[in-house]
Every structure is written in structure tokens, then in C-alpha cells.
Amino acid sequence: MSWYKALLGKYGNWVDELALPAKPLQRSEHEQASVNRLAASLTLYDLKNCPYCHRVRKHLKQLNVDVQEKNLKRCHIYQKELLSGGGRAQVPCLKIEKKSGTKWLYESSDIIRYLDEKFAPKHQRLKESA
């Protein structure tokens, strides 16, 4: 069975991409503009083939949230930014800029939880917590 886990680890993202994607969340024009303003303060540092990064990108797509993405493979300066700002060159990492300062969120599950708190409709959050 270990061959199955190795195969899934190697091609898991590819299989996920073939699966039918969930429809992006639909909002009114006013609500989407508000989401876009809040999302402008977010930056996702990631790698294309990382399964945890894929999970976060997929969740962003489902929430219909467009954030700036910085792929560490494309530009080594992004890795230096991540290391100097957050302290670790680990992906995925969500950089959250606020008036009070910058916060760096590293774990995919923590990033998804943060995104749900900020962007998921309240009735959807209530169902998930029940």
C-alpha cells in the first residue's frame, strides 16, 4: 500500500485539478468590491507543485478571493522577502498587512481558517462549526 501513498503524494494535485471544481462564491457587486479591498492587503507566498499551497489556492478560488501570489520558484527575491519578513522560508504563507502591522500565517489549515473568518458568508461558517 505504500506505493499507493507515494503515487498519490506525487500526483495528488494533478488528480485534484481534474476533479470538478466547486463553483466560486457569488456575491453582490457591492459585497465583492468590499472583499477585493480587504484582499488587496493579502499576499500568498507559494510553490506551484506544493499540495498545501494548492489547497489554499483552491480555497481562495472557491471563496472568490483574488490575492497577490508570489511563487518562490519564479523569483528568488520572494524567498528573501519571506525569510526576512516572516522568519521562515516555508510555504504556503499568507502575508496579512494591517494598520497595526504585518502578520505572517504559515500553516495551510490556519490560512484557510483565517480566509473563512474573513470571506465566507456567516451562515456558511455557522454550518461548518455545528
Whether the Cβ atoms of residue 42 and residue 94 lie closer than 8 Å to each other? yes
- Which helix (H) or strand (E) element contains residue 103? strand 101-105
Residue 20: per-residue pLDDT: 45
- pLDDT over 70 at 127, yes or no: no
pTM of the model: 0.76
- pLDDT over 70 at 98, yes or no: yes
